[in-house]
Structure 1
């Protein structure tokens, strides 16, 4: 170890991380830390990148940060930017903000890292404020900045702001080949599909596979099937393109189009692809064809956890709680050896709860912790409490609620309080219900859904005066109940038929 220059090891660390060998990079870093005292910022930068994908709890990135402070390697733009990125990917936003604030000289990469951090945490407004600060400090933007802003506009459905970003790109002469996919995603999300098609057409031969896949998904999502299949005709459809189109079909419940894509996948020999089959399974389930989902599920040669979860969820949606429970039991015992994850557990608990299968729900809850060693989150407790309340087991629901805080040392989230209030409503428990309603409002005073649950509770116990008080409180706080919606998908079947023929 002492014979080689530290630059050689820094290069080796960077190569390992670049090729996804995070564990090997971590092992090499530990060895270097034990034997050398000349570690520099370029040693730590790739290691910080590897930390976000390391399975060690607690986050080793914080330990690396501590070593950097001891060695004085935490100063400088490169080191601080790497810390911003690491904390963001490890879901520690406070660390990202602090590291960014300590930067004395911020370059465009630093600003982009902070923008990306806010967006990855769903904080669109903060990302836009960060962009405004960039303008104020006259930071020269690059393509990554523009992509981040388009993503922010896509997430917030901010049509006018996204068009302004597009205009800035035109004015500054930015590379549309790099930004084309982001623009297409943005215009598709705000239902301006004609503008998305213009962007796609303007790039001509520069369109790559990713951009084509994005354009196909956008067309199907906006029910422009003719254009979607014209793009498919102009390229050789790949698994990603068909999977993306199927996701859009699932969202719009377009069974007929989904079936045509299934036929196309079969003709091209893609039906052995697990990811594509998962999308087909989900599409049929969301279109009400659970029997087709079952057939597909049994034909998938290599089922992954998504396959099992999608089938369990399909049973849940269609009210087949017992089938969902039985399939959950088969997971760990199957020849694939696929253990469930937290999403699987949530699906099966919900399925059992809505089918009145309390004993099966209890069994799933126990199996998750004892057999599969799954981490049980508040959303799982909320689902379990809701199922107990629906079945009339109010005291047990309350015991589970208390156990979360006393034995599991887990805080009660709003969804847990809401589930317990619903249980109180169904079982006519006035004293507990009033206590829960008070805490729910304190926890989330601006969530319109909570007010609806509270009003339903007061109505169920005959307290119409409190129903009116809750309505007045909503009005004073400017909170409005979100309107429901209904839509029917329609399309010209001849478009796809011509393609298939």
Structure 2
């Protein structure tokens, strides 16, 4: 009875409640100890699962003999914390008890070692298995995906005796991460024809791939597939469709989808506001959407919301509105501005001929606001130093910053990217040479990121031309 009650306590996800019941049991057995270990591993203190295990080994009055059900939870706690040292300790205990060759223990070990980046050890476990199931295959494939070794992952994927939606999603996510949207689409088509329709994660991944590469035709095809498969436009799929259509230059279609959605969260609103402000013909639509959002009692703007709002103000040269929104963001909603917010405001000042003010504004950024492009949204905004149709304003701001503070390496990196998004590769080369001569190193700006930004802007330019003359 006590053991059954202890197991039921797991449903409450409260380790304190589970421990309270455990302490009331006179002679807790292996089942009881395993239940507490699982509770720790599933909760907010996963590392305590391993500590509790060793405590119980030495505790008097506890009838605990570890078995094959003891270790998967312990090992998963190490996966959560990416603690391979503790994971190896658990592995050693499993060997000592003699259950290391049990399927579910081996699967947990593969997942743990892969999650900790130790694919060579994960492969050793996988290679020595006497029997494998779908979990084994998915875990080893996902391990190679996580370290972006898509060649090894795909070879294993092709050898899988069977696949499920988890297998397909892992591969598609992997190719999305290494910026190969073509293979994401190819895998999606194959999945639909061979293994069924997939799930929300599958749809979101392939729509993201279409949006990032501005493949509107393929995006429409995926949208049609969602309708044909009667999947329904859930919140996450609807938000992904809004993002995809916006990035493909069709925020008007995105708006239609947005208006049909019965449930919208802040991510959904942000996707629509950013879509209108960055990709729309009239950024004022984004400001109108923002005003509508503020009327809702259950939605509060965040950092991403205000990137869209300030970008819209910059594109429309709405100086007073931009200043008010920046103040509102920091004072009313206590949102800490990122570089994207400062960059929008700098462009807004410069577009009114207030270049000195723009430079001062950027110089007054807090020290902990970095210039590293951590998101595609940030990268797109950096390219939007073309708020007025060219890069002149961005170049002027960056040069003024360098002249005022030549020792600040970040400003050199800023000008380097501005030249790159403008396609001024001779200037990029000159900047690189100059930076190397001065021993200036600007981390965070990789060639891959530059190429992706430039490619994205070129595609957007082509879309704009089609809308204008098509």
Q: TM-score range by the shorter chain?
A: 0.5 to 0.7
Conservation of the 8 A alpha-carbon contact between 1:187 and 1:195? yes
In the other structure, the counterpart of 2:81 is: 152
Distance 1:260 1:418 in 2: 34
Shift of 1:351: 2.2
Would you say the 8 A contact 2:164–2:195 is kept in 1? no
Identify which of 12, 17, 20 aligns with 1:78: 20
In the TM superposition, what are the counterparts of 1:4-153 in structure 2 within 5 Å? Answer: 14=8, 18=11, 46=12, 78=20, 113=40, 117=44, 143-153=72-82
C-alpha separation in 1, matches of 2:124 and 2:17: 46
Corresponding residue of 1:410: 333
Aligned to 2:196: 270
Q: Tell me the equivalent position of 1:361.
A: 286
TM-score normalized by the length of structure 1: 0.58
Query: Structure 1 CA distance, aligned partners of 2:113 and 2:6?
Result: 42
1:427 paired with 2:354, answer no
Name 1:349's counterpart in structure 2.
273
- Measured in 1, the distance between the counterparts of 2:193 and 2:224 equals 20
Question: Under a length normalisation based on structure 2, what TM-score does the superposition of the two structures give?
Answer: 0.61
Q: Distance in 2 between matches of 1:384 and 1:251?
A: 28
Q: 1:299 to 1:363 in 2, by over 3 A?
A: farther
8 Å CA contact 2:210–2:218 kept in 1: the answer is yes
Instruction: Please tell me whether the aligned partners of residues 398 and 420 of structure 1 are also in contact (alpha carbons under 8 angstroms).
Output: no
How far apart, in 2, do the equivalents of 1:419 and 1:111 lie?
44
Give matches, 1:464-479, under 5 Å.
464-471=402-409
Secondary structure, counterpart of 2:44 in structure 1: helix
Q: How does 1:154-233 map to 2 (within 5 A)?
A: 162=84, 164-173=85-94, 176=100, 177-178=103-104, 180-181=106-107, 183-185=109-111, 187-188=113-114, 193-205=119-131, 207-219=132-144, 221-223=148-150, 224=152, 225-231=154-160
Contact kept in structure 2, 1:425 and 1:433, CA below 8 Å: no
Question: Equivalents in 1 of 2:401, 2:330: separation in Å?
Answer: 30
> Residue 312 of structure 1 aligns with which residue?
242
SS in structure 2 opposite 1:270? coil
1:397-455 C-alpha deviation (Å, 9 max, x unpaired)? 1101222355xx3113132x6513442245334447535643522xx26x4549x99xx
Alpha carbons 1:309, 1:347 under 8 Å: kept: yes
1:222 shift after superposition: 1.8
Are the structure 2 counterparts of residues 48 and 289 from structure 1 closer, same or farther at C-alpha, using a change threshold of 3 Å? same
The answer to whether the Cα contact below 8 Å between 1:340 and 1:372 also exists between their aligned partners in 2 is: no
RMSD of aligned alpha carbons: 4.8
1:482 aligns with 444
Q: Deviations over 1:321-353 (max 9, x none)?
A: xx23542343343xxx44332222222222222
Report if aligned partners of 1:308, 1:331 keep a CA contact under 8 Å in 2.
yes
Shift of 1:395: 2.0
Cα distance 1:284–1:374, how it changes in 2: closer, same or farther (>3 A)? same
- In the alignment, the residues of structure 2 paired with residue 208 and residue 467 of structure 1 have an alpha-carbon distance, to the nearest angstrom, of 60
Structure 1 gap ranges (5+):
1-6, 19-45, 50-73, 82-106, 120-126, 154-160, 489-501
Are the counterparts in 1 of residues 238 and 257 from structure 2 also a CA contact under 8 Å? no
SS in 1 for 2:300: coil
Per the TM alignment, residue 380 of structure 1 is displaced from its structure 2 partner at its CA by 1.0
| Deviation, structure 1 residue 117 | 3.1
SS of 1:414's equivalent in the other structure is coil
CA distance change for structure 1 residues 316 and 167 in 2, over 3 Å: closer, same or farther? same
Cα displacement (A) at 1:188: 4.3
Q: Which residue pairs with 1:88 in the alignment?
A: none
Judging changes above 3 Å, is the alpha-carbon distance between structure 1 residues 262 and 483 closer, same or farther for their aligned structure 2 residues?
A: closer
* Separation in structure 2 between the aligned mates of residue 463 and residue 282 of structure 1, nearest angstrom: 35
Whole-angstrom CA distance in 1 between matches of 2:200 and 2:411: 51
CA separation of 1:485/1:131 partners in 2, compared to 1, >3 Å: closer, same or farther? farther
Cα distance between partner residues in 2 of 1:433 and 1:131: 53
Closer/same/farther in 2, CA of residues 330 and 146 from structure 1, 3 Å limit = closer
